[in-house]
C-alpha cells in the first residue's frame, strides 16, 4: 500500500470540547471503522479489545471503554468525522500519534480487504498526524503481517 501526501481530513470543523489523550486515541481508532457513526457489535467488541491491550487504558474496564466509544460515536454523528478527527488530532500527544495510527491501521486491515476509501483514510491519517512516511509504511507492513494469519 502506498501512502501519499494528501490531507482531506482537516476541513476546519471542530468539536466544542477537547478530548483526553485516551479519548483522542479511541476517536482515531473509531474513525477508522465507523466513519459514518455506526458500527456493529463485532466492531464494538474489536475496538474495545484493541484499546484494552494498551497501557493507556490499563485502568479502564470494558464497560468504561464502551461508554467512551458511545460518547465519541454521538459526537461523530452530531458533529461529523472532520470535527471529531480535528478534536482528536489537537488532543493527541506526540508520543501517541504512531500508536493511534497503528491501531487505526489494524482496525482497517482486520477485514482483509482494504477499500479505496480506507486506503485514502490511512493516507490522510498518517499525513495529518505528522508521521514520517517510512514509519507509516513500516506500521502498515507490520499490520498486514499481523492480520494475514
The CA distance from 86 to 76, in Å, is: 11
- The CATH fold assigned to 21-148 is TerB-like (1.10.3680)
pLDDT at 18 over 70: yes
Residue with cell 480506507: 118
Q: Alpha carbon 83 to chain centroid distance?
A: 14
Nearest Cα to 121, choosing from 74, 66, 81, 93? 81
Q: How many CA atoms lie within 13 A of 22 on its CB side?
A: 19
Give me 81's grid cell: 468525522
Phi, psi values for residue 80, rounded to 5°: 100, 165
- What pLDDT is attached to residue 102? 97
Report the C-alpha gap between 79 and 96 in whole angstroms: 24
What gap in Å lies between CA 130 and CA 7, rounded to an integer?
Answer: 11
pTM recorded for the entire structure: 0.85
Among 25-29, 37-41, 50-54, 58-62, the minimum mean pLDDT is found in: 37-41
pLDDT of the residue at 38 = 86
What are the residues whose beta carbons fall under 8 Å from the beta carbon of 126, sequence distance 6 or more? 3, 101, 133, 136
Question: Does 137 score more than 70 pLDDT?
Answer: yes
d(CA 51, CA 29): 9
Helical spans, DSSP H, in the chain: 21-33, 41-52, 62-79, 81-91, 97-109, 116-128, 133-148
pLDDT band at 15 (very low <50, low <70, confident <90, very high): low
Query: What does the alpha-carbon distance between residue 21 and residue 43 come to, in Å, rounded to a whole number?
Result: 21
Percent of the chain with pLDDT over 70: 89
Where does the pLDDT of residue 67 fall: very low under 50, low under 70, confident under 90, or very high at 90 and above? very high
C-alpha to C-alpha distance for 4 and 121, rounded to whole angstroms: 11
Amino acid at each position: 500500500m502506498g501512502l501519499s501526501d494528501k490531507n482531506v481530513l482537516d476541513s476546519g470543523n471542530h468539536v466544542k470540547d477537547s478530548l483526553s489523550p485516551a479519548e483522542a486515541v479511541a476517536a482515531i481508532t473509531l474513525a477508522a471503522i465507523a466513519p459514518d457513526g455506526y458500527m456493529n457489535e463485532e466492531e464494538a467488541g474489536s475496538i474495545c479489545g484493541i484499546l484494552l491491550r494498551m497501557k493507556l487504558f490499563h485502568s479502564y474496564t470494558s464497560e468504561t471503554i464502551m461508554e467512551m466509544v458511545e460518547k465519541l460515536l454521538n459526537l461523530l454523528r452530531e458533529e461529523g468525522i472532520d470535527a471529531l478527527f480535528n478534536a482528536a488530532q489537537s488532543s493527541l500527544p506526540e508520543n501517541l500519534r504512531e500508536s493511534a495510527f497503528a491501531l487505526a491501521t489494524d482496525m482497517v486491515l482486520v477485514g482483509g480487504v482494504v477499500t479505496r476509501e480506507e486506503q485514502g483514510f490511512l493516507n490522510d491519517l498518517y499525513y495529518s498526524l505528522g508521521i514520517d512516511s517510512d514509519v507509516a509504511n513500516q506500521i502498515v507492513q507490520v499490520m498486514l503481517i499481523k492480520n494475514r494469519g
